[in-house]
Amino acid sequence: MTVKGSRILTAIIRLEGSYFCYDNPGALQDNFKKDLDLSTTQFVWLYSIYSWPNVILCFIGGFLIDRVFGTRLGTIIYLFILLIGQLLFAFGGLLDIFWLMIVGRFVFGIGAESLAVAQNNYAVLWFKGKELNMVFGLQLSFARVGSTVNFMVMESVYKYVNQFYKGPMCIGVVLLFASTTCIMSFICALFLGWMDKRAQRILRRNDNPGGEIARLSDVKTFKLTFWMVSIICVAYYVAIFPFIALGKVFFMRKYDFSAEEANTVNSIVYIISAVASPVFGLVIDKTGRNVMWVFLSVFVTICAHSILAFTFLNPYVGMTIMGLAYSMLASSLWPLVALIIPEYQLGTAYGICQAVQNLGLAVISMFAGMIVDHGGYFMLEIFFIGWLTIALFATVVMWLYDSNKKGNLNMTPSEREQHIDSLTSIASAKMMGSSSVEEISPEDILNQSTPALRNRYIRRTGVEGGTASDCEPLLDQ
């Protein structure tokens, strides 16, 4: 347990730097604008240069993990890129060169988003079938902690540094200070890589027993359920993040809140998710039935948005419900990908999810602002409920498809175990009967352990559109 605990902890600290630094400009918005003499538009560039390239780049980043780097090396490389980006950003501040800052944010973005993909891979590699849901919950939770700490700390760091340095110099020094969190993350990544390598040696773990190679064309063979997960990734998250971005004025105007109160109620979703998502993850680990949980979270989120749109009930009610539902979704949705996609393609799969999510958020955020200007917040709420309806629809499609194909997505953990066993017996029975069809030579059988064979059989049949194994691409060993 202590080994496991330290693994989880290090894995999470590794991400901390990225989340901490991502919102550095946001926490110092006024200081940035004043010291560097930025217009609001220029300031917004600092964020858009981060997000727009990742509409494509994190898909490539994910694929490179599968094909070239592997999870371990990929993590280290992406963290290195991230660190370089943050340093460029800081030096851009020090030297008061705006374009260098933009370049820094761009490089930082490439590293950070692909790193998130690698992180998901790590989580699956280590915790699949056991505490995976909880680990995903914890990841979300610590992401929130990272950005919250950033918002709390940066202002006072700025004030302190401002005693010694002024203007752009001050911003640069503060950013350099922030990059120490990235260095810390980098050290964690190295340590984690070492641990992983050791674990692999000791446990004689084979991450890719079938020796499969990821190809871009594999994307075509991804199952319907995966695409449904991607749709939910877009349709659900666009109803959360852009809403929170526009929420402050909504709470001030509709509920007559002061600016401070509005900020508090607006941040409640994140605060709740920091506490609740690991807890929900644990519950989902015990109960399984991920699809049901996804359905429930989307439905509850619709209720939360409806409370905010159609009633004058205290917004804390709606936002608290939304926070709980959001935590539940994060803990149940992301692990689904690992149940659908074989491990050797996971990087690509998570990359796709992240890429479409980035695209959705970038487009919808712009669109949401226009809706508020021309149709008001009521219309905006209806727009979000519409997106959630799409997410709900995708969930139902996934559910029906999975239950028709007798898949394992909505099974309890014990059912999943049984499912694996039954698949194994079918597989070995078939192999005894007609091994030639599967091109398995006697040497193969002699040289490989049973699980490896089982996996290989299942993977092939699964990937090539086989029958019983449709939703069981990889088994735990």
Partner 1 sequence: MLRVLCIFLVIVLCSAKELRSLNAQLNPNCPPVVCMNNDESTITVVHISAVGEHDTLHYLWDFTGKPSVLIALTSPITNLTINWENFILNDPENSVIFSTKPIYTSTVVMNRLWQFNDAEDTGTFSYGVNSSEINVYDTRYITWTRNEFRKSVHEVEVTVKGDNLSFFGDGRISLNFKCFASVDHGIDFPHLLHSENSTQFDLVFDGLQVNSSFKNPRFAAEFIFVSEESRFNNQSFMLHSKKSLDDEHTPGIFEIVEIASPKSLMANKGSFIQYRPVSYTHPERDVSTSTELHITMPTNLDNPTIQLNTSLAWLYYGPLLNTILVQGFNVSFGMSGDGFYTKTNYSTWTFIMGYGTPPNEQLSMFVVIVASIGLGIPLILLVGGGCYICIKRTRNR
First to last CA, the chain: 19
Question: Which amino acid type is present at position 311?
Answer: T
Q: Return d(Cα 181, Cα 190) in angstroms, integer.
A: 14
Q: Output 254 or 405, the one with its CB closest to partner 1.
A: 254
What tokens appear for 342 in the block? 């074989």
Which residues touch 450 (CB under 8 Å, ≥6 apart)?
424, 428
Q: Is 311 in the site for partner 1 (CB under 8 A)?
A: yes
Least CB distance to partner 1 at residue 244 (A): 16
Q: Is 77 in the site for partner 1 (CB under 8 A)?
A: no
Nearest one of 302, 296, 293, 304 to 269, comparing CA atoms: 304
Q: Which of 373, 439, 443, 464 binds partner 1 (CB under 8 A)?
A: 373
Which region among 113-121, 329-337, 369-377, 464-472 touches partner 1 (by CB under 8 A)?
369-377
468 near 423, Cβ under 8 Å? yes
Which region among 14-22, 101-109, 376-384, 435-443 touches partner 1 (by CB under 8 A)?
376-384
C-alpha count within 13 angstroms, C-beta hemisphere, residue 186:
15
Q: Output 204 or 374, the one with its CB closest to partner 1.
A: 374
Q: Return d(Cα 215, Cα 210) in angstroms, integer.
A: 15
Q: Return d(Cα 15, Cα 437) in angstroms, integer.
A: 46
Q: Is 400 in the site for partner 1 (CB under 8 A)?
A: yes
Which region among 47-55, 302-310, 334-342, 457-465 touches partner 1 (by CB under 8 A)?
302-310
Q: Is 312 in the site for partner 1 (CB under 8 A)?
A: yes
Q: Which of 84, 309, 359, 452 binds partner 1 (CB under 8 A)?
A: 309
Q: Output 245 or 259, the one with its CB closest to partner 1.
A: 259
Q: Is 160 in the site for partner 1 (CB under 8 A)?
A: no
- Residue count of the chain, please give it: 477
Q: Is 401 in the site for partner 1 (CB under 8 A)?
A: no
Q: Which of 392, 420, 453, 458 binds partner 1 (CB under 8 A)?
A: 392
Q: Output 116 or 307, the one with its CB closest to partner 1.
A: 307
Q: Give Cα 315 distance to the centre of its chain.
A: 27
Q: Output 194 or 310, the one with its CB closest to partner 1.
A: 310
Q: Is 393 in the site for partner 1 (CB under 8 A)?
A: yes
Which residues touch 295 (CB under 8 Å, ≥6 apart)?
392, 395, 396, 399
Q: Which of 9, 259, 317, 445 binds partner 1 (CB under 8 A)?
A: 259
Q: Which of 240, 385, 398, 458 binds partner 1 (CB under 8 A)?
A: 385
Give me the helices (H) in 52-131, please: 54-64, 70-94, 98-127
Q: Return d(Cα 144, Cα 269) in angstroms, integer.
A: 10
Q: Return d(Cα 468, Cα 461) in angstroms, integer.
A: 9
Q: Is 254 in the site for partner 1 (CB under 8 A)?
A: yes
Helix (H, G, I), strand (E, B) or coil at 326: helix
Q: Output 229 or 385, the one with its CB closest to partner 1.
A: 385
The residues binding partner 1 (CB under 8 A) are 249-250, 253-254, 258-259, 299, 302, 306, 309-312, 372-379, 382, 385-386, 388-389, 392-393, 396, 399-400, 403
